[in-house]
Amino acid sequence: MKKFTDSEIIDVVRYSERQIIVVEKRLAADLVKPGSNYYLLNLDTGDKEAVTAGVYYMKKFGASSYKKISEQITSAAQCEAVIMPSRDVFVIFPNGQCGLFSPYGELQWTKTLTYNDKEVNALAADGDYIWCCCRDEDCVLRYSTDNFKVDLRIGGKGADTFRAPNFLSADEDSIYVCCNNRKLRRIDRSNFTVSDVSDGIPQLQKFYRFGKYSLLCTADGAYLGEDE
């Protein structure tokens, strides 16, 4: 894998088949208040092209709703979001606070998502379902978007399946789970078996898979890899 930035990655959103939008943490001139850089990363060439925050929000929240949603959410880059088959937009923050917006950006409800009274966070889309992590319960949860109740749990206290999972993402075949014991694990979406992708990754924060490309984010920067 080739390192393409020394900065911390806040968020990644698909832009096209060969391009993704990367939101990168940037220190302000006073070195106190952090800001953000937004750019397109070409997966084939590694080239970067600056984009506006508006383009990022449009891809993250949907063309018909992004203006209203981004105006209602403080630090919108900090939340995870999925556009559901109904075109409603579900968002969740690291503290478990979540909300559902209509296709036109009207807020329908908010609540805090918990499991066994522990915060739930992270987010990956899976058709009529979403996947989240519960770090304190060492498990990954699948929710039905009909009622936002737990449909499936993998792992749990006392099991070695996941240790303090803190981020997940999805591609067509798998759910990828980043754990605090430096393990990256994979859930097969066809049969829910769990296997290792990689072990011993220092300061592992996020992982994304886009076709033959992999994006690995750590505390000291991010790396882009391609299948041989």
d(CA 129, CA 95): 20
pLDDT for the residue numbered 4: 94
Name the band, by pLDDT with cuts 50, 70 and 90, for residue 203. very high
Tokens of 10: 């806040």
**Could you tell me the residue ranges of all domains in the chain?**
2-226
Average pLDDT, rounded, for the chain: 94
Summarize pLDDT for 35-89 with one digit per residue, the tens. Answer: 899 999 999 999 999 999 999 999 999 999 999 999 999 889 999 999 999 999 9
**Other C-beta atoms lying within 10 Å of the C-beta of residue 212:** 10
Q: Which CATH superfamily is domain 2-226 in?
A: TolB, C-terminal domain (2.120.10.30)
User: In the block, which residue shows the tokens 């949907």?
Assistant: 62
Higher pLDDT, 32 or 124: 124
